[in-house]
Structure 1
């Protein structure tokens, strides 16, 4: 780095230090400016309970990387839009494009964000990890990747 002595003594700006830091986090946001889509999402026309449901990912209605059709299903939403009527205890599925996989979450708590009532959804991370990685149960074995040797999917 080259700099004048006066700047070195009295200070100068470094772009990296003062770069804007994002204050929000989400599975579908702030992905290093990468694009995971396109996503086709249901508008709720004709059936409002389907509002926000994922219908296609990258033009496909099923993934093609897992061993079974069940594991390749596009279950749930991208969590961009939630249909009205969600209640505490309701379970829903959220599709995470980074893993080409859906995860179940449950509405566990009523919260407020800027005076707007919302429901907080939660999942038990350790259960989500078992759901993805282990093949000890037949329904869990279905999510092992067809592109890798089976032992990659086993719990270590």
Structure 2
């Protein structure tokens, strides 16, 4: 009986101390498991490396009947949404007019990029093609694709041709 107790104590110390040091970050588990995916998977299972979790961007789709989150797993907290309008940037060095115009177009493109595609299409319908093309060029491809898909086919084709030529 004493021998069994001694073995259990030794196992607890031999396994518990490294686990505690790894959990506290003293032992760099991420560096040690970077080259071995099986070891990284084991460390993730044991809880030494945080699980890769994604937060759904669309919070409207959540239903009230969803089950309560599991208390044993840590939840990733989503960052609060940033406002679509960013505060103006102060520049200490003199900026040329062309560079400033490019920054303004980039800023407006980010505003449209953060909008719902339906809203952007509604606004773009009231704008000329030569105004829309620079904005589309500075937006993410996925957002541009969604916007072009919602536009009338003839205008979407015309804008696509212009984007191809001017690239």
Higher normalized helix content (fraction of residues):
2
TM-score scaled by structure 1?
0.26
Q: Which has the higher relative contact order, 1 or 2, with Cα contacts under 8 A spaced 6 or more apart?
A: 1
TM-score scaled by structure 2?
0.25
